[in-house]
Amino acid sequence: MVPYLLALATCFVAAPCSAASADPWFGQDKALHFSATFMLAGDGYAAAAAARCHESVRFGVGAGVAFAAGVSKEVYDRYSGGDASMRDLTWDVVGTATGSIVSWLIDRYLF
């Protein structure tokens, strides 16, 4: 299911090649994308943990919340005249994955 969501997100945020040349991989906005999805993944994991769900459900809720927020932001940028970027979406995915894994590790080994 995730590959289909990634393909759909790619279609929504596809931008001309000229826009990518002005979009550095390591800009301040990339750090914001990473940190926002990192935090949302942790918050989603914690919310599911408060409901006493299984680890796999916690992981899925955290990743789903963060990834949905990242994709929503890029779709909004695409249709509101903003700068939709696959590089931003890449950092959203990295932040989501890192936040979900860190949340799982904390839950697994500290609690």
pLDDT-flagged residues of the chain (< 50): 3-4, 15, 17
Let me know how long the chain is.
111
Closest Cα partner for 95 from 31, 43, 45, 46? 31
69 domain residue, yes or no: yes
**C-alpha dihedral sign at 13, 16, 19, 20:** positive
Q: What is the pLDDT of residue 17?
A: 46
9 domain residue, yes or no: no
User: What's the whole-model pTM score?
Assistant: 0.79
Q: Which residue has 């935090």 as its token pair?
A: 39
6 domain residue, yes or no: no
> Could you give the number of structural domains in the chain?
1
Domain of 91 in residue numbering reads as 27-110
